[in-house]
Amino acid sequence: MKKEFSACLETIKQLVESKNEELLLGICKILKEQIYHYDWVGFYVMENGGLVLGPYVGKPTEHTHIAVGKGVCGQVAEREETMIVQDVSQIENYISCGLDVQSEIVVPVMKSGKFVAELDIDSHSPAPFTNDDQLFLEEVCELISEQF
């Protein structure tokens, strides 16, 4: 794992252990501040069969509710697996959050084998996400799964 991810993961572990009331928002802030290509970081939580926007850091979004199966976030909720999109213009049912967004990674949060939420990250950089991003973010999601 890249050095920047390891350092960031340690900070997040400390935050989780502190039992901070604003844990999810704190994680969003840490990820956005410490990883250069994470420009919008937020959580969508499964509620009543759909995704509802939770804590996030970045430009405001009008996408506060997303149906399962719709866009990248909805597809991750449906498939229950990480999805990396290096070029959002190539996705047919992409839900655009802004003209600056060029790529996206969405990682499911699973609790006791059940999809409960997801971590959504947009980047203004073309194709910045690597296998290291995926492994790092999946570990973050595993750390926080018990919060749901």
The domain total for the chain is 1
Q: Which long-range contacts (CB under 8 A, 24 or more apart) does 36-41 make?
A: 37/123, 37/124, 37/125, 37/128, 37/129, 38/121, 38/123, 39/100, 39/101, 39/122, 39/123, 39/124, 39/125, 40/97, 40/98, 40/101, 40/120, 40/121, 40/122, 41/119, 41/120, 41/121
- pLDDT tens-digit map of 32-84: 999 999 999 999 999 999 999 999 999 999 899 999 999 999 999 999 999 99
147 pLDDT band, cuts 50/70/90, is: confident
- Confidence (pLDDT) at 91: 76
Provide the residue range defining the domain that includes 45. 3-147
Q: Which residues of 36-75 are buried (b: 16+ CB within 10 A; e: fewer)?
A: ebbbbbbbbbbeeeebebbbbbbeebebeebebebbbbbb
Looking at per-residue pLDDT, the higher value among 91 and 127 belongs to 127
Average pLDDT, the chain: 92
Rounded CA gap, 124 and 99, in Å?
9
Q: Cβ(77)–Cβ(108) under 8 Å?
A: yes
Rounded CA gap, 70 and 9, in Å?
30
CATH number at residue 45: 3.30.450.40
